[in-house]
Structure 1
Amino acid sequence: MPVRRWFRRPDEQDAPDRDGEHVVTDPRQASALASTADEPLPVRLRVPDVDALRHLAMAADGAMTQDLRVHIERWEAPSPRWRGRMAPLRDTRTVTLSHDPARRTASAHVSLHAPLPVARVLDALIPAFVPDAPVVGAGFPLLAVDPSAGAEALPLLPSRRIPQLEPIAPALEGRHLRKADVLLTARTDLAREEEDAVHQLTVGEALLGHPRVERPVIDLNVHNPIGRILGFKPSPPARRLVIDRPRGVVRLLGATDPDLRPIEFAIAEPLSARDVAAVRNVEAVDLSPLAGLAGPVPEGLTTRFAELAAAGVILHSLPDSVAIAPEQLSPRIADAIRRPYRPAMGLERERRSVALRRAAMHDHAGFLRLASAVEHRTGSRYLPSVSVVLSTMRGELIPGVLEMMARQTYPHMEVVVVAHGIPAPDLSGVELGGLDVTVVEVPSTVLFGAALAEGVRRSSGDLITKLDDDDWYSEHHVFDLVLAHLYSRADIVGKTTEYLFFEEVAQTVHRTFATERYHDQVAGGAMLLSRAAFDALGGWRPTPNSTDRSVLIRVETQGGIGYRTHSLGYMYIRHSSKHTWERTDSQLLNGSFEQWRGWRAPEV
C-alpha cells in the first residue's frame, strides 16, 4: 500500500519537533528512528485509520521507544457503548486512551518503564480501537511473523494483530522449546529462523496454500461487508466502472448522474480500509464499459473485483469479450459478474450480494490459504472446529435437523444432540454422510439452559453454535458464521430473525433488521462464540427460557461486543405450538418489509 494513502499530510517532513520528539508520517521512516538517535526518542504518529497501525507495526522493524502517541484521524465506534482495551504489554507505565465518536477520532498515549519496539506497542494498541477477539483453538500451532515478511503477509493473518516472536524468559526456557511453531517469513536464509521456530513458511508458500491455488488473496480484516447498505434501503445512484490507464486507476462514476462524486482507487494496489469504507453504500457496479477494453485485463484488476465482491458490492454485466483466466479470479465470481442486474431492494439484492461475497471469501481469503499451508506443513489443524449443539424434546424433528447439518460446507464440525426428556432417537435411516454426531440424554426435570450446558460439556469444538430444532438452515449456514467470526473479531456473532415463516397461515415474511453491523442482539438459533468466551461468560444459565438472552446480556455487561452477519441461510419458523421465545405473531410482523404466500426460502 503506498504511504500517501495512509497519511493525510504527505507534505509534512519526518523530523524532530520543537520538543525533540519525532513526528512520523511515513512508516518507512519508523525503522530509521533507532539508528538516528543515541537513545530511543518519543514517537508521535498521525494515521488516517486503524488499519494503518497494522502496516506501521509491520514496517517499524528495529525502531524503539519509551513514549508513543498515536492520533487516528478517522475512527468509527463499532457500537455506542463499546470501548476497547490495549492488549497486555510488559514494561507499561501508563496508558491513556481517548475515543471521540462525535468527531470520529481516537488517540492513545503509552509510556513505558523500559524501551520496547515501536511495532510491539502499535500491535498492542490495535484492540484499543477495533474489536479483535483472540484467535482460539486447542492445540493450534503458535504462529509468528518475521519482520521480513512485509505487508504482503497482512492478508494471511487470522486477526488484525501481527503475531510476533516473543522472547522466552530464561527461567521458563524448556528443552527444545522454541519461540514459535511456525514462522511466516520472506527470508531465504533460514539459519536464524531455525533457532526461533520449529517450521518456517515463506509468504509465497502461504499465499498459494495447499493444495496449491494459483489465485490472488484478499484480506478478511479489510475486505469484508461490515457496514454494508441495508437490504431494505432504497438503491443509491448506480455506478459504472471505467479504467484510467494513464493514471493507473479505476473510477466508479455515476451511471445516470454525471455530477456524482467519483470513487477512485489504484488498479495495481489492494483496496485500503478507506477504499472499502467509500464503497459501503455502493449497491452495484456496472462492468459493461469494459466492452471497449483493448488488450489483456490490466494486472490487479481482477483482484480488485474479488475485494469489491467480498465487501458486498454487486458486480454485473461484464462483457463476454473480457477474458478472465481461472488463476486471476474465482470462476464462481467470474460467472456471477457476467450476469445482468437491475437495482433492487430486499431479498433479490441480498441474494446477489451474498453469493458474491461468499465466493470471494471462500476462494480468495488469505487466512484460509494460510490455514491450509500451516496444516500441510505441521500436520496440525489451523482452522477452528465448530460444535453444533441442539437440545430438543421433539425426537421426530432430529433426523431433519441432522440432515441439514450433514449438508454443511464447513469442513470441521460436529453435532451434539441433547435428547431432553426423550429417548435417544434411532438414526439408522438418516443420511448423515460423515457427520460426527453425539447424542446425550438428560431427564425432563433438567431446565432448558442446563440441558444446553450439558451438550456443551460433551462437545469438543473451538467454536460453539446453537440450533433450534424447528428452524431451517442452508448448507452455508455454519461457514457464514465462521467467516463473520473471522472478519468481525467480535465476541459473539450470529444471524437474526430477518426471515420468518408462519406455519399456520403459510406466509413468509422478510423483516427490516440491521445486518453486517456490530450489535447487542443476535438470534438464539443462529449464534456462535468461542469456547473460551463461552466459559468466561459462564455459558447458558440454567433457566427454562431466555437462555440465549442471558448469554447476550453478559457479553454486553462484560465489555464484549456482538456482530450480526447477513441472515440468508437461516429461517425462523413460527408454529402454533409453544416457543421458548414468547412473542406474539403481531409483534413478529412489526417491521415486515417483504411478504410472500407460502414457503419462500431465503436462498435455494
Structure 2
Amino acid sequence: MDIRIDNPVGRVPDPRTLMARTLDLSPAGWRLGRHRGTWDSGLNRHLCALDNAHQLRVGGEGAPHAARDQVADFLQRAIARGTFVHGDLGTDLTTALPPELAAQITTDPTGRPGDLDWDVQSVRQRRAVLQPLVARWPTVSLVLVSRRGDRVAAMVKRLSTLDYPELEIVVGLHGVPAPSGLSEVAGSRSLVVREFPADQVFGSVINDAFACASGELVGKVDDDDFFGDPHLMDLVMAHGYSRATLVGKSTTVIFLEAIDTTVRRLHGVRESFTDRVAGSTFLMTPEDLADVGGWPSVPRAVDTHLINAIRRESGTIYQPHDIGYLYVRNADPSEHTWGTGGDHFLRNTREQWIGLLRHPEFGTEGEA
C-alpha cells in the first residue's frame, strides 16, 4: 500500500445521503455490486467502485483460505480510501488483518454517516490503516499565544499528552507574565516560553512566537479548546497525503458555554479541500508560512487574514474530518478574536448534548 495513492482525499461522500455497497464472498469468487469475478480475476481493480461509498458490508459464505490475503488487502485499501467496513469476516480473514484494524471492524455499524458514533468508528478504522503507512513522522511545533495566563498551564498539559513522537510546545504570553510550573506540566516535551509586551499587535506576537518554533511542521492552538490524543497525528497525515498548503479541522463540534450545550453541525464534506478551517488546528510548514508573508500584523481576525493570504498565493486548504477537535465558545464574546455570534453555531445542527460532551476522542472524558 502507498499512502500517496490509497488515501481518502475526495473519497468521503457527503453524509446527508447514505451510499452503501456489499462485497459477497464465496469459495468460487466474489461480487461487488454489478462487478463479479473469480479469485484470479483481480478484485483490487474495482476499488474505484467504492470511492463514492460511505460503507461496505462484507457478507456471503466467505473466501477460501488461498484468497484471504487478497481480500484483506482490498479491505485495507478501501478503508484507507475512506470507506467504512463492517460485517462478519470470519476467523480466517480476521487473522489476515493487522490486529489494531481487526479490533475496529464490527458486524454492524452504530448509526449512520454524519452521526458521531458512526464517524468515530470510521475514523478509527482509517487511522489503523493509514498510520503504519507513514514512513517518518516529522517534528512538530505547536504554538500557543495567550493573553490569559490562568489558562496556559492547563493547555500546555493537554498538549503534552498528545500522541505524537516529536512535539515542541511554544508559548507566547501577550502582556501577561509566564505562569509558574510550565516545565513541570510539559513533562518530557520540549518547551519554549516567551513574553511579549501588551501593546504589541496580536498578529505580530503570533508571528514572533512562530519564529521561535523549530519543527518541520508548525501549528497554532488556542488556550481554551479540547483535543483528543490522536488529533495531531490526524493533521500530520492529512498534510502528507493531501499536499495542501494548510490543513486543519472544521469548527463543527462546539461547546456553547452560554447555553451549556455541545452541538455538532453538518458543515462541509470531510476529507476535502475547503476555504476555511479552525485557527486552533492550523498546521503547515514554516516555508509555506513564510511564502505567504507570515502571520499578518493585525489586532483581530488573524486566522482569516492568513487564509486570505494563502488564497492570494493560490495555496490550498484541506480538512480531514472533525473528530478529535472540540471548539469552546465562551459566554463572553469579547474573549474571542473571531466575532461571530453564538447563533451562528446553531445552524445545521445534527446532534447535541447537555453540558460539555465527555468523549475520549475529544480529550474531554476526565474534565470536571
Give the TM-score, by structure 2 length: 0.89
1:340 aligns with 2:123: no
Paired residues of 1:320 and 1:338 also in contact (CA < 8 A): no
**Residue of 325, 345, 356 corresponding to 2:125:** 356
Deviation for aligned residue 1:312: 2.0
Deviation for aligned residue 1:296: 5.2
Deviation for aligned residue 1:224: 1.3
For residues 534-567 of structure 1, the C-alpha deviation after alignment (integer angstroms, 9 at most, x for no partner) is 0111111111111111111111111111111101
Paired residues of 1:399 and 1:430 also in contact (CA < 8 A): no
Paired residues of 1:288 and 1:318 also in contact (CA < 8 A): yes
Flag the 1:244–1:411 CA change in 2: closer, same or farther, 3 A.
same
1:518 aligns with 2:278: no
* Equivalent in the alignment of 2:97: 329
* Equivalent in the alignment of 2:216: 462
Q: Give the helix-richer structure, 1 or 2.
A: 2
Q: Answer 1 or 2: higher relative contact order, Cα 8 Å, separation at least 6.
A: 2
Counterpart-to-counterpart distance in 1, 2:291 and 2:184: 36
The answer for unaligned runs of 5 or more in structure 2 is 363-368
Counterpart-to-counterpart distance in 2, 1:267 and 1:600: 49
* Equivalent in the alignment of 2:82: 312
Counterpart-to-counterpart distance in 1, 2:275 and 2:234: 19
Q: Within 5 Å, which residues of 2 pair with 1:485-500?
A: 485-500=239-254
* Equivalent in the alignment of 1:591: 348
1:283 aligns with 2:54: yes
1:581 aligns with 2:338: yes
Counterpart-to-counterpart distance in 1, 2:44 and 2:143: 38
Paired residues of 2:13 and 2:53 also in contact (CA < 8 A): no
Flag the 1:316–1:440 CA change in 2: closer, same or farther, 3 A.
same
Q: Within 5 Å, which residues of 2 pair with 1:78-157?
A: none
Q: Within 5 Å, which residues of 2 pair with 1:257-272?
A: 261-262=34-35, 271=44
Flag the 1:465–1:331 CA change in 2: closer, same or farther, 3 A.
same
Deviation for aligned residue 1:349: 2.1
What amino acid is aligned across from residue 493 of structure 1 in structure 2?
A: V
What amino acid is aligned across from residue 388 of structure 1 in structure 2?
A: L
SS in 1 for 2:91: coil
* Equivalent in the alignment of 1:227: 10
Counterpart-to-counterpart distance in 1, 2:37 and 2:51: 14
Paired residues of 1:235 and 1:343 also in contact (CA < 8 A): no
Counterpart-to-counterpart distance in 2, 1:268 and 1:452: 57
Paired residues of 2:37 and 2:43 also in contact (CA < 8 A): no
Of structures 1 and 2, the larger Rg is shown by 1
Flag the 1:244–1:475 CA change in 2: closer, same or farther, 3 A.
same
Counterpart-to-counterpart distance in 2, 1:264 and 1:498: 42
SS in 1 for 2:303: helix
**Residue of 417, 423, 441 corresponding to 2:177:** 423
Counterpart-to-counterpart distance in 1, 2:347 and 2:280: 20
* Equivalent in the alignment of 1:184: none
1:553 aligns with 2:308: yes
Instruction: Give the aligned length.
Output: 357
* Equivalent in the alignment of 1:394: 148
1:239 aligns with 2:21: yes
Flag the 1:265–1:561 CA change in 2: closer, same or farther, 3 A.
farther
State the percentage of identical aligned residues.
29
Give the TM-score, by structure 1 length: 0.56
Paired residues of 1:240 and 1:289 also in contact (CA < 8 A): no
Counterpart-to-counterpart distance in 2, 1:430 and 1:504: 33
Counterpart-to-counterpart distance in 2, 1:308 and 1:339: 17
Deviation for aligned residue 1:498: 1.1
Paired residues of 1:267 and 1:299 also in contact (CA < 8 A): no
Paired residues of 2:250 and 2:319 also in contact (CA < 8 A): yes
Counterpart-to-counterpart distance in 2, 1:265 and 1:563: 39
Instruction: Tell me how large the CA RMSD over aligned residues is.
Output: 2.4
Paired residues of 1:297 and 1:323 also in contact (CA < 8 A): no
Flag the 1:455–1:269 CA change in 2: closer, same or farther, 3 A.
farther
Paired residues of 1:268 and 1:300 also in contact (CA < 8 A): no
What amino acid is aligned across from residue 122 of structure 2 in structure 1?
A: S
What amino acid is aligned across from residue 223 of structure 1 in structure 2?
A: D
Deviation for aligned residue 1:355: 0.5
For residues 233-261 of structure 1, the C-alpha deviation after alignment (integer angstroms, 9 at most, x for no partner) is 1322x3221236656xx5323xxxxxxx4
* Equivalent in the alignment of 1:44: none
**Residue of 280, 290, 299 corresponding to 1:544:** 299
1:252 aligns with 2:21: no
**Residue of 507, 525, 529 corresponding to 2:284:** 529
Flag the 1:322–1:551 CA change in 2: closer, same or farther, 3 A.
same
SS in 2 for 1:446: coil
For residues 96-122 of structure 1, the C-alpha deviation after alignment (integer angstroms, 9 at most, x for no partner) is xxxxxxxxxxxxxxxxxxxxxxxxxxx
What amino acid is aligned across from residue 303 of structure 2 in structure 1?
A: D
* Equivalent in the alignment of 1:295: 65
Counterpart-to-counterpart distance in 2, 1:572 and 1:301: 40
For residues 291-315 of structure 1, the C-alpha deviation after alignment (integer angstroms, 9 at most, x for no partner) is x444355332212221111122111
Deviation for aligned residue 1:318: 2.6
Counterpart-to-counterpart distance in 2, 1:317 and 1:323: 11
Deviation for aligned residue 1:264: 7.8
Flag the 1:549–1:232 CA change in 2: closer, same or farther, 3 A.
same
Flag the 1:512–1:411 CA change in 2: closer, same or farther, 3 A.
same
Deviation for aligned residue 1:391: 0.3
